[in-house]
Amino acid sequence: MKKKFSPSSDASISIFERLESEVRGYIRSFPVLFDRGVGTTLIAADGREYLDFFAGAGALNYGHNNPAFKKPVLDYIERDGIVHGLDLATSAKKAFIEAFERYILKPRGLNYKLQFTGPTGTNAVEAALKLARIVTGRSNIVAFANSFHGVSAGALSATGNKKYRSAAGYPLAHVTSLPYDGYLGPSVDTLDYFEKLLNDPSSGLDKPAAVILEAVQGEGGIYPASFQWLQRLRDLTKRHEILMIIDDIQAGVGRTGRFFSFEAAEIVPDIVTLSKSLSAIGTPMSLVLLKPELDVWSPGAHSGTFRGNNLAFIAARAALETYWADSKFEEEIGRKSAILAEELNLIIDDFPNLGLSVRGRGLMYGLVFQKHHSLPVQISREALRRGLVIETCGGQNEVLKFLFALTIAEADLRRGLSIVRDSISAVKNTMANASPKRLHGIEHR
């Protein structure tokens, strides 16, 4: 008999509350002792199975323990391949670089050099910001409202969220925050303001070394910039000799439909940061792509003990060879994206009084609860009870975030969306029954 879905007992994870720092986050949203992961399924220590619409916050675009990567990694370990290599030349690193050039750079006509940084995305952002300042001799950086670039000092300065910024412990400086596309409403082109600041010598804006942005903002609430806005920003930065940094840590590696999130806009940034799903199997790996003329680093000027994770190189190479040798994977992402968008719009139709909206691109979508910010967290909890792991995002957690593996089977995609629909209905009905005034205007259906 199939086990009823319910989170693991508090006793199974009590040691985390007793000994792990209060800084822990996701365990509070998903209080389950997870043990295994296969494809898009998470399996708890007690045997309960959960459909994963979280995908390691975007670090598992190819699912859990993808056999196309697992065997090469196990074979590499079995033959005593170098695991830790700093920035030494290793066969694993050489093969990855060759594959990245063959399957990613050359087909797109991109000319970038590769800088391997420390293991996390914020390490890549720190390197990109540092390099931009060295190249231009300027200190100011322009970032955008609702952005998220990491929580180490430099990256945090370019991050918008108050919760993260207030944890810095000291004032964050040398970054100017400007409105992102759509921030002031659909009728306002926010780049008019940026251009005015650049052209006015009395604006008070120090000419920036770079602008850093996500082409689709993730943690900030799933905000996709229009292609026209991105193209205008690229033109603006070129005319004013400002570097453009695209943070593709979450939105890259196929998440928005193509390998890079900026491809569809037909722009070429000066610097690109990659991490998360780049390693393909969840092992730490980060990369900065930089135009050759920007490579002014002196040897060892930017370092990191774990910038040579050879297990990540092995898996990443296998992913490139498996999924990016032709256009079939992109086409499959496009097909699933159409299903996701259609089903989310049907959910909106099912709950007309909730005032829902949807936004996103590729397989990076958000269901927005603009009128009732508290509902996504409650829906996420209800979904967990029903066997689905799904997170929230946005400044007030007002967005239910769809970030499942790109390799998800259509049946699992539709099953997960059905659980979301049922969870919304259950939460709405529970709240309406408890206190109708709390959801003013929402009919009991």
CB 8 within 8 A of CB 14: no
**DSSP 8-state secondary structure symbol assigned to residue 75:** H
Distance CA 150, CA 159 (A): 7
Q: Token pair of 173, please? A: 């400086």
How confident is the model at residue 308, as a pLDDT? 85
CB 433 within 8 A of CB 444: yes
How confident is the model at residue 11, as a pLDDT? 72
Q: How many CB atoms lie within 10 A of CB 24?
A: 10
Distance CA 127, CA 143 (A): 16
CB 208 within 8 A of CB 245: no
Pairing verdict, β 175-178 and 141-144: parallel
pTM above 0.85, yes or no: yes
Kindly list the distances between the CA atom of residue 431 and the CA atoms of 39, 421, 426, in Å, as whole numbers in the listed order: 34, 16, 9
How confident is the model at residue 375, as a pLDDT? 95
- CA-nearest of 297, 416, 421, 414 to 348 is 421
DSSP states of 250-296: TTTTTTTSSSSTTGGGT---SEEEE-GGGGSSS----EEEE-GGG--
Phi, psi dihedral angles at 414 (to 5 degrees): -70, -35
CB 222 within 8 A of CB 401: yes
Distance CA 373, CA 397 (A): 7
Q: How many CB atoms lie within 10 A of CB 230?
A: 24
What is the chain's percent helix, strand, coil content, to nearest 5? 40, 15, 40
**DSSP 8-state secondary structure symbol assigned to residue 309:** B
CB 393 within 8 A of CB 401: yes
> Going residue by residue through the chain (445 aa), what tens digit of pLDDT does each one get?
344 455 655 678 999 999 999 999 999 999 999 999 999 999 999 999 999 999 999 999 999 999 999 999 999 999 999 999 999 999 999 999 999 999 999 999 999 999 999 999 999 999 999 999 999 999 999 999 999 999 999 999 999 988 899 888 888 899 999 999 999 999 999 999 999 999 999 999 999 999 999 999 999 999 999 999 999 999 999 999 999 999 999 999 999 999 999 999 999 999 999 999 999 999 999 999 999 999 999 999 999 899 989 999 999 999 999 999 999 999 999 999 999 999 999 999 999 999 999 999 999 999 999 988 899 999 999 999 999 999 999 999 999 999 999 999 999 999 999 999 999 999 998 877 776 555 444 433 3
CB 387 within 8 A of CB 54: no
DSSP states of 100-123: HIIIIIGGGT---EEEE-SSSHHH
Largest CA distance in the chain: 73
Distance CA 261, CA 214 (A): 8
How confident is the model at residue 9, as a pLDDT? 55
Distance CA 44, CA 201 (A): 60
How confident is the model at residue 443, as a pLDDT? 38
